[in-house]
Structure 1
Amino acid sequence: MLYDWLKALHVISVIAWMAGMLYLPRLYVYHCEAAPGSKESETFKVMERRLLRAIINPAMGATWIFGVSIAWLGHHWDQPWFWAKVVLVLGMQGAHGGLVHWQRDFAADRNRHSQRFYRFVNEVPTLLMIGIVILVIVKPF
């Protein structure tokens, strides 16, 4: 029963993390259009900071806590699909780190990237998520 509760909490955390990871780069795309120091730019800064600090970061932490608990209780350590999933989740963690870095750049009015760059960045979490879900559900190896 504990295992099922942990899985439910893990899925809820992943959904919240992914929602933020998919939305934040879109905010960056629109933020690129706003002149530094403008009212629009300042509004985007608040939205980006709040999304990161109130949703994405806590959801990521909860995802790790519940995920490691599930792996421990489910004895998944010896499964090849599990280690492939870990690699993709670490990739997601790297994408998260990039989003944090770029949020700090926007907050300091020193963004160096184009809308096109952030449109590409927006696809990375989606591709990682697809791989992770396939590994967990299908367990191809």
Structure 2
Amino acid sequence: MALNPTLIWLLLGIGLCLIEFIVPTAFVASVMGISALIVAPLAHLIPFSLQILLWMMLSLVLVLLSRRFVRQKAAKKLDATEAETLTEIPPGKSGRVLYEGNSWAARCEDHTLAIAPHQKVYVTGRQGTTLIVMPESLIHS
């Protein structure tokens, strides 16, 4: 039994768009889903290898175009300022913090400091999907 390529692309597109609701990926999954939905009606007209290539090219172009929208949103002021480290944040490297109920990548504003797990930190900024934090002990001293 041969699978219908249009149906495969439709299911892939819908699945990727739904993943965006479960795991926020800064629109990457939804853009890839939209690309799959665009490829679906063309699936009977072009060979499978070209379908994959078209999907990858459309995804790349749409992700790059959507970055302008994501950057504008990221530049907005953050609502909350407090977070808690979930993992250690080594000096100059990233760790994880709990911020507004979600786990975020984070790094310390001072690249020479390490922050232990389960410490209260203050969010001072954001670069893409990485929060910039400072330990509470440093701010109150």
TM surpasses 0.5: no
Q: Relative contact order (C-alpha < 8 Å, sep 6+): which is higher?
A: 1
Larger radius of gyration: 2
Give the structure-1-normalised TM-score: 0.30
TM-score (norm 2): 0.30
